Amino acid sequence: MSLIAPDNPWGITLQVDFLSRYTIAASTITALQKLGVSWVRMIESWSNIEGPENTFNWTAMDANIQAINAAGLNAYFVITNEPLYRRNTNAGAGIYLLDPASAGVIVSHLALRYQSGSPFGTLSCIEVGNEDFSLSTSSNYNGGYLADVMNTAYPLVKSIDPTMLCVHGGMLQNNKVFVANWFAQFYNGGGVSASGGVGTHTDALNTHYYRSAGEDPLDPSYLSTNTISAQLDALYAASVAAGYPHREVWLSEFGFAANSGGTGGNLTYAVQDQFGGEVFDTARSKPYCTHAFYYTYNTADNNSLAGGAVAGKHPLWQRMNSMVFMYSQWLRQDINGNKRLTAATRTAAQPRTAAATRTAAQPRTQL
């Protein structure tokens, strides 16, 4: 089984490209253990690992995954920023995106190296594409093209390790029209897509959520953009319309830039704490939303839970830490209307459904 830790809904996203020697510090791993999350989502440029073509440097990645596993946490890797020989020009649109064949090569290397029980470490989830397929709100939505990529990548991951999760790159935008059209294209094809949509080839619908500085995620007065509730509902509505009402929604990245004075376009720590709490509370209120990851934990980043404050003193760090232990499984009903179990009431006779046996109509059993 690819899960190292019990699959609770809480995670942190780290931008590995910003770290010294692309290595996660031991102090960061310790802080995330104390925070109580079970997932560490790593964004790293594939060009750090591959180059020249078919030559790979796994040293830093092995060390990161082994450290995460040793801490009892689930490792989650995001493929992004590939070398140009791994990209296409996307039918002449001038947007260089990971092509399906190259995606197949990359995920095969990752799944083979980090499958369950590997001496190099275990990856619990691979994300294909990060925000790359939704960076622009142009009419060329690229959801259909990402479906083509997933239709190649997903079956290859499952053929190597059926228990390893595989999700599509997080959709970046929150413009109401764009979000609806992007996911319609993702499910149905269109644009430059050569297929009829993603079908069963993702373990969840995946979104990011960033509003402009100072915009409350619950405020509906910004008419062109979704509140966090409307964003998550839009993903679920797309799944229902496509015939996948049991597909989970993951919020794999959100954050709010802050500093102690709230200067330079940043929020104060108090407002960051308020907005972060609003997003987490909204996510855990949705039966279909099963995971949420905060960006980030890095003292050099203003979005961070460690920025300008010692870990454990930062207001949003404290809030998240309390929420993780108060709502270890969000204590809501799952997508089938079943009450989620607490760690105290779950028994060996009530395991999560293994990814190997789950179908699109059968979500993982919520704890």
pLDDT tens for residues 229-239? 999 999 999 99
Q: Is pLDDT at 124 greater than 90 in this prediction?
A: yes
Three-state SS for 11? strand
User: How much is the pLDDT for 311?
Assistant: 58
Is 64 in contact with 100 (CB distance < 8 Å)?
Answer: no
Contacts of 90 (CB under 8 A, 6+ apart): 96, 97, 140, 142, 145, 192
What is the number of alpha carbons within 13 Å of residue 354 lying toward its C-beta? 9
For residue 337, name the pLDDT band (cuts at 50, 70, 90).
Answer: low
Mean pLDDT confidence for 345-360 = 31
User: How much is the pLDDT for 93?
Assistant: 61
User: How much is the pLDDT for 136?
Assistant: 79
Determine whether domain 10-326 maps to CATH 3.20.20.80. yes
Q: Is pLDDT at 300 greater than 90 in this prediction?
A: no
- Give the span between the Cα atoms of 167 and 202, in whole angstroms: 5
Q: Is pLDDT at 91 greater than 80 in this prediction?
A: no
User: How much is the pLDDT for 95?
Assistant: 76
User: How much is the pLDDT for 357?
Assistant: 32
